Structure 1
Amino acid sequence: MGTEPNNKSEQTSRKRLIREEGLMPLFEHLGELRKRLVYVLIVLTIGLVVGLIFAEPAYNFLMSQEPANTISLNTFSLWDGIGMYMKFALVIALILALPVIAYQLWAFVKPALRKNEQRSTLKYVPFALLMFLIGLAFSYFVVFPLAFRFTRSVSQHLNLVETYGIAQYFSFMFNLLIPISLLFELPLVIMFLTAIRLVNPKRLRKMRRLAYFIMVLIGVMITPPDFISDVLVAIPLICLYEVSVFLSGTVYKKQLEADAKWEAEYGESLNNA
Structure 2
Amino acid sequence: MSEKSKDLIESIKNKGKSLEAEMSFFEHLDVLRKHLLRTLAVVTLFVILAFYFTDFLWHSIIMAPKSPDFWTYRMMCKLVEMFPSIGQDFCITKIDAKIINTEMAGQFTLQMNSCITAGLILGVPYLLFELWLFIKPALHETERRSASGFVFFASILFFIGILFGYYIICPLSVNFLINFTVDDSIVNTFTISSYLSTVFTLTLGSGIIFQLPVIIYILSKLGIMTPKFMRTNRRYAIVLVLIIAAVITPTADPYTMMIVALPLYLLYELSIIISARIENNRKKNQLAVYKA
User: By the TM > 0.5 criterion, same fold?
Assistant: yes
Query: What TM-score do the two structures reach when normalised by structure 2?
Result: 0.74
1:246 equivalent to 2:273? Answer yes
Q: In the alignment, what sits opposite 1:11?
A: 10
Tell me if the contact between 1:40 and 1:104 (Cα under 8 Å) persists in the aligned partners. yes
**CA-CA distance at 1:62 after TM superposition:** 3.1
Unaligned runs of 5+ in 2: 69-94
Most deviating of 144-153 and 6-15: 144-153
RMSD, aligned α-carbons: 3.3
Sort the Cα spacing of 1:222 and 1:83 in 2 relative to 1 into closer, same or farther, 3 A.
farther
User: Deviation per CA, 1:225-254, whole angstroms, max 9, x where unpaired?
Assistant: 868566654553343223112112223433
Q: Does 1:157 align with 2:183?
A: yes
Is the aligned partner of 1:201 residue 2:226?
yes
2:124 pairs, out of 84, 95, 98, with 98
Tell me the distance in 2 between the aligned counterparts of 1:113 and 1:204: 27
Q: 1:1-273, aligned counterparts within 5 Å?
A: 3-62=2-61, 65-68=64-67, 70=95, 71-155=97-181, 157-195=183-221, 197=222, 199-202=224-227, 205=230, 208=233, 212=237, 218-219=244-245, 222-224=248-250, 228=254, 233-234=260-261, 236-258=263-285, 260-261=287-288, 267=292
- Displacement of 1:6 in angstroms is 0.6
Question: Unaligned stretches of 5+ in structure 1?
Answer: 268-273
Give the deviation of 1:262 after TM superposition. 6.0
Number of aligned pairs? 263
CA shift at 1:219, angstroms? 4.7
Structure 1 window deviating more from structure 2 (78-87 vs 223-232): it is: 223-232
SS in 1 for 2:55: helix
State the SS of the aligned residue for 1:164. Answer: strand
Which residue identity does 1:4 align to in structure 2? E
1:204–1:245 CA contact under 8 A, matched in 2: no
Measured after TM superposition, the shift of residue 192 of structure 1 is 4.3
Hey, what's the Cα distance between the residues in 2 that align with 1:226 and 1:129?
Answer: 33
Which stretch shows the higher mean deviation, 59-68 or 243-252?
Answer: 59-68
Residue 90 of structure 1 deviates from its aligned partner by 2.4
SS of residue matched to 1:159: coil
Q: C-alpha separation between the residues in 2 aligned to 1:263 and 1:50?
A: 56
Shift of 1:52: 1.4
Q: Deviations over 1:50-96 (max 9, x none)?
A: 22122321212136744335444332223232233223312321222
TM-score (norm 1): 0.79
The structure with the largest helix share of the pair is: 1
